[in-house]
Amino acid sequence: MLKRFVVAFCVFIVTFTGLAQAQASTTIDGMEQLAWEEIAPGIWSAQVGEAEASTFRDLAAAKPRMEGLAKMGAAEFPFDKNDTMGQVINGTRTSVRLPLGLDEQVYGLGMQFRNMNRRGEVYHLRTDHYGGILGRTHAPTPFYVTNDGYGVLFNTTKWISFYPGVGNRKDSTLPPRKDRTTEAGWQAVPTSDAVEASANTTGMEVIVFAGPTPLDVVRRYNLYFGGGPLVPRWGLGFWHRVPTAASDESVTAEVDEFAKRDFPLDVIGLEPGWQSKAYPCSFDWSPVRFPDPKNFVSSMTDRNLKVNLWVNPYISPDSTIFEAMRPYTGSHTVWLGEVPDYTIPEARKILTDHHKKNHLDIGVSGYKIDEVDGIDNWLWPDHATFPSGTSAEDMRQTYGSRMQQTITEMFHEKNTRTYGLVRGSNGGASAYPFAIYSDYYNHKGFVTALCNASLSGVLWTPEIRSAGTDKEWVLRMQTVCFSPMAMLNAWASGLKPWSREEVDTEIREAMKWRVRFLPYLYTAFAKYHFEGTPPFRAMVLEPGYIANSNDEAGVLDGEKNPYAEAVRKDVTDQYMMGDSILVAPFFSGDRRRNVVLPQGNWYDFYTGKLVGNGEVIEIPFYLKQIPLFVKEGGIIPLLKDDANNTSAWQDGVALEVRHYGSEGGSTSLYDDDGTTFDYEKDAYSWYDLSVAKTDNGTFATSVNKSSGTYRKTFGKVEWKFMTR
């Protein structure tokens, strides 16, 4: 009896003591003030609790581009350090609290389909392919950007919950209290003065990126993780993925039909049936559908086409590498295939040795990495174990990144660039040469995802698969041709670009524009790599578009911009391509659409006519071409002639350089060999393309090498003054 009493008394003491500790830490003062250290120009780090074993820095494809960060210059810490707090709760959960202005808008937090402004909702960031659940996404990047010109990364690979402007601590700055019954203005979600985040971890690193503009923030973030990928030129051509059970003969017939019908094509994608077994995968060629893979790939190479292979990571017992890989697989299967632990070097080597011998050495250009984002009942459970000791949670959050890392390193060793597809990614992935794709298939949601991806250091393709009408078929094709990867994914539908004959002309024109834009797009990707500027990006990153306390975006000609409030809204149906072009696609059901123009004159790409300045314009629907607008002084380098393959860029290729507006301007043009990593050894060149207004009102043009040692591969430059 006495023994029971003593035990009960001890339990009471422990419980009471725990309660006292909890009460002591229920105020902001009970949290620890963060200590910040500048780790690169305009970038600061702080640590809460213990450092984690694995972070996004470990998963990055490249080291920080310190030269690019140095060129951006120094910046001041963007908010009051005294208001930055952290706390480790009961030794198991880490929380962070950072200040947020009452009018600040929050963007980022991964590739979302629904909207852009994150303020006022709760996000549980978890790798998943759900399109409608907040935070569950293909790339749940825990990085946000505000319109006040700074960004924050929570450098943890754990599942993390975000409360941007949500959740009011009792001792914070609270909004006026309202009685719901008798007073107007009661808030279901009261305005909060902070961003709070937490994860089940004993500590995490927090990294702050200064601006001064939102675009500068994103540039610093991308450069810190190695810059964007400099994809091969062929990767910017048109991609076509064939049906699952296609054979070498059917694929050859299909690609020859592209040439016969005068449709562009650069990459042919083989879906699961190229393998002897899929779901789970063998990674071995099917002896029935592809009996001579070397000859097949060689025949595609002879046509200037690249071959991309679909894979998922889960290994079939029939694979020739199954037994070698089995000691390095986790406790649970996926589709009855074993799950390799790619944190283990031996596992990576088994895979890459096989792929080099059977794929790369015969000319395969890259991979489509599927099913690394699956829903809970597809992938391994939360209690699964892996031989490295990596938790199931960490493995789930980073599996797509680890697959990208393994494939990227393999191609780098061969000094051959790749570009591919992946279904799951996360923070620190800026330098990986992969575009994300999805089972989600809403056209407007696809464009929203394209915008959000630019704020999270990942690329996204709004692939076309099918359409309900001829009109939708054209509109989707136009959007995908003006995106990071132009791809028709016909794995299930078997559709071809010419499947809807009534709109052949419009489809062909969109695809041909894609190839003509190669000089402009390739330069945009070079700027992504060297400068961190996303080649396709949300309008909130465009100077002069959104009001910012650090610039004059809300002021036009000395007066308050009448559209300042309009441009602050969640506009997700238009975006920037490169430095000078605004893309505003139409959607099914549109009879007209609004386009929000940033400050400065903007011109119609096709006609050169002035369309507006810092205002909202309405344009009528038309099917023939996707609406494109060019900013004042914009210079757009294009291939002069139509082409059906990016191999048209070869020694002596002729360029057509278009100029828009009534003022001079300048832009850059990047040049290298287009396929290898020799640019890392400075084998590249930059050219300045300039237009200057003379005293008599005419324009003088110039093309001058500004830096680099790579030989000039383009030939004649023909200038075209669109506005005149």
| 109, two tokens | 């937090």
Task: In whole angstroms, give the CA distance from residue 462 to residue 442.
Answer: 9
* Residues 440, 323 share a domain: yes
Summarised one tens digit per residue, pLDDT across range 372-398 is: 997 777 899 999 999 999 999 999 999
Q: Are strands 93-99 and 555-556 parallel, antiparallel or unpaired?
A: unpaired
pLDDT (mean) for 664-686: 97
- For the cut 90, the answer to whether the pLDDT of residue 480 exceeds it is yes
- Among all chains, which residue has been given the structure tokens 């001079």? 664
* Residues 191, 307 share a domain: no
| 294, two tokens | 């070397």
Q: Are strands 43-49 and 575-577 parallel, antiparallel or unpaired?
A: unpaired
Which one has a higher pLDDT value, 560 or 363? 363
* Residues 328, 201 share a domain: no
Task: In whole angstroms, give the CA distance from residue 126 to residue 248.
Answer: 39
| 19, two tokens | 């309660």
HSE of 195 in the Cβ direction (CA atoms, 13 Å)?
28
* Assessment of whether the complete model's pTM goes beyond 0.85: yes
* Residues 273, 328 share a domain: yes
pLDDT at 14: 43
Instruction: State how far the alpha carbon of 576 is from the alpha carbons of 122, 191, 315, in Å.
Output: 28, 31, 41
pLDDT at 17: 41
Dihedral (C-alpha) 389, 391, 397, 402: value to the nearest 10 degrees? 10
Q: Are strands 434-436 and 459-460 parallel, antiparallel or unpaired?
A: parallel
Inter-residue contact 463 to 239 (CB < 8 Å): no
Cα end-to-end span (Å), the chain: 100
Residues 6+ apart with CB under 8 A from 302: none
Residue 20 belongs to domain spanning:
1-30
- DSSP reduced 3-state for 1: coil
CA angle 276, 277, 280 (to 5 degrees): 155
**Strands of 106-108's sheet, edge to edge?**
37-40, 43-49, 203-210, 150-155, 143-146, 106-108
* Residues 646, 607 share a domain: no
| H or E element at residue 449 | helix 443-454
The pLDDT-based confidence of 646 (bands split at 50, 70, 90) is very high
The pLDDT-based confidence of 544 (bands split at 50, 70, 90) is confident
Residue 181 belongs to a domain: no
- For the cut 70, the answer to whether the pLDDT of residue 23 exceeds it is no
- Bridge partners (DSSP) of residue 208 are 44, 152
* Residues 328, 279 share a domain: yes
Task: In whole angstroms, give the CA distance from residue 240 to residue 254.
Answer: 10
- DSSP reduced 3-state for 407: helix
pLDDT (mean) for 118-130: 90
Instruction: State how far the alpha carbon of 337 is from the alpha carbons of 164, 282, 554, in Å.
Output: 39, 10, 56
Residue 587 belongs to a domain: yes
Summarised one tens digit per residue, pLDDT across range 44-103 is: 999 999 999 889 999 999 999 999 999 999 999 999 999 999 999 999 999 999 999 988
- For the cut 50, the answer to whether the pLDDT of residue 562 exceeds it is no
pLDDT (mean) for 224-234: 98
pLDDT at 543: 86
Summarised one tens digit per residue, pLDDT across range 145-181 is: 999 999 999 999 999 999 999 999 999 999 899 999 9
* Residues 55, 17 share a domain: no
Q: What SS3 string covers 43-108?
A: EEEEEEECCCCCCHHHHCCCCCCHHHHHHHCCCCCCCCHHHCEEEEECCCEEEEEEECCCCCCEEE
* Residues 309, 209 share a domain: no
Residue 395 belongs to a domain: yes
Residue 497 belongs to a domain: yes
Residue 523 belongs to a domain: no
Task: In whole angstroms, give the CA distance from residue 501 to residue 286.
Answer: 34
- Among all chains, which residue has been given the structure tokens 């500790």? 21
Percentage, residues of the chain above pLDDT 70: 93
Residue 529 belongs to a domain: no
- For the cut 60, the answer to whether the pLDDT of residue 561 exceeds it is no
- For the cut 90, the answer to whether the pLDDT of residue 711 exceeds it is yes
Which one has a higher pLDDT value, 565 or 439? 439
End position of a domain, from candidates 478, 503, 528: 503
pLDDT at 504: 95
Task: In whole angstroms, give the CA distance from residue 525 to residue 521.
Answer: 6
Summarised one tens digit per residue, pLDDT across range 616-634 is: 999 999 999 999 999 999 9
HSE of 312 in the Cβ direction (CA atoms, 13 Å)?
25
Residue 514 belongs to a domain: no
Which one has a higher pLDDT value, 557 or 388? 388
How many other C-beta atoms can be found within 10 angstroms of the C-beta atom of residue 523?
22
* Residues 374, 466 share a domain: yes
Name which of 391, 536, 456 is nearest 221 in CA terms: 456
The pLDDT-based confidence of 569 (bands split at 50, 70, 90) is low
Tally of domains in the chain: 5
Provide the mean pLDDT of the chain.
Answer: 92
Among the residue ranges 91-100, 201-210, 248-257, 542-551, the one predicted with the least confidence is 542-551
pLDDT at 114: 86
* Residues 498, 572 share a domain: no
